DNA sequence: CCCTGATTCGC
DNA sequence: GCGAATCAGG
């Protein structure tokens, strides 16, 4: 694919709209996001912030040797975007968060709890925020229900059911970045210590 | 891990 | 001019 006028135009338009390079690349087809970014630079519209003529914002006075031809400014624009990501519970899962339950993971743990035996303490309802709990019940229906062997690096490892039964599986939904669980389960797994204390009888 | 843009440099 | 590879950051 080549950069026809049409394609360049669409590129400009989308870039102006704040679309990401990958989105633009997907839309255009036949090009990667790298190609898009490269083109954007060559077109000289890398800095999505308005050029504003020669307005010179106080230079940081950096002892630089290389004199670049065009703009050198870095981050200046947050980019509006139509990102629907709300980040539900920012308060939750902070540095002071605690895991209410140990990761079931265990690279190799065969001996499971004998059937009918009392299960280890499950996160009980009184310890979890209603919303988080509701969310879990919601997504648990959509769970992939993976077996231990089916778990991968990026599948939610939240255990569901009685390990001593066939009715036992792992959530398996896409994990949250970094975490071992999906968004919903991260919500019940990690809680600020404060909220734990508060909920405490 | 997923993603973002920025830069480099052989083509 | 092009864009994959790489870098830097979230």
Of residues A75 and A117, which shows the higher confidence score? A117
Task: Kindly state the average pLDDT of the residues A161-180.
Answer: 82
Strand C contact at CB of residue A96, distance < 7 A:
no
What is the band of A85 on the pLDDT scale with cuts at 50, 70, 90? very low
Q: What is the mean pLDDT of chain A?
A: 68
The model's confidence at residue A128, banded by pLDDT at 50, 70 and 90, is: low
Report if CB A177 to strand B is under 7 Å.
Answer: yes
Q: How many percent of chain A have pLDDT more than 90?
A: 14
Is the CB of A42 within 7 Å of strand C? yes
What is the C-alpha to C-alpha distance for residues A23 and A133, in angstroms, rounded to an integer?
34
pLDDT tens-digit series, residues A140-169: 877 878 888 878 777 888 998 888 888 888
What is the DSSP-derived secondary structure letter of residue A126? G
Residues 135-194 of A with CB under 7 A from strand C: 177
A22 touches strand C (CB under 7 A): no
**pLDDT of residue A74 exceeding 60:** no
pLDDT of residue A135: 79
Strand B contact with A178 (CB < 7 A): yes
Backbone angles phi, psi at A145, to 5 degrees: 55, 60
Quick check: A69 pLDDT over 50? no
Phi, psi of A131 (to 5 degrees): -65, -50
Helix (H) or strand (E) holding A161: strand A159-161
Measured CA to C1', what is the nucleotide nearest A35? C3
């Amino acid at each position: 694919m080549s950069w026809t006028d049409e394609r360049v135009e669409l590129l400009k338009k989308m870039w102006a709209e704040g679309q990401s390079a990958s989105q633009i690349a997907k839309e255009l087809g036949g090009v990667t996001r790298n190609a898009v970014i490269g083109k954007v630079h060559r077109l000289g519209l890398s800095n999505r912030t308005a050029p504003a003529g020669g307005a010179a914002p106080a230079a940081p006075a950096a002892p630089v040797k290389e004199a670049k031809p065009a703009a050198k400014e870095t981050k200046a624009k947050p980019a509006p975007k139509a990102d629907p990501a709300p980040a539900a519970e920012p308060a939750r899962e902070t540095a002071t968060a605690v895991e209410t339950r140990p990761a079931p993971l265990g690279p190799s743990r065969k001996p499971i709890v004998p059937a009918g035996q009392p299960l280890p303490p499950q996160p009980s309802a009184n310890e979890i925020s209603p919303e988080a709990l509701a969310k879990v019940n919601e997504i648990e229906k959509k769970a992939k229900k993976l077996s231990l062997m089916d778990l991968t690096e990026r599948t939610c490892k939240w255990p569901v059911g009685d390990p001593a039964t066939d009715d036992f599986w792992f959530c398996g939904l896409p994990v949250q970045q970094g975490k071992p669980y999906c968004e919903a389960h991260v919500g019940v797994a990690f809680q600020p210590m404060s909220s734990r204390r508060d909920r405490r009888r």
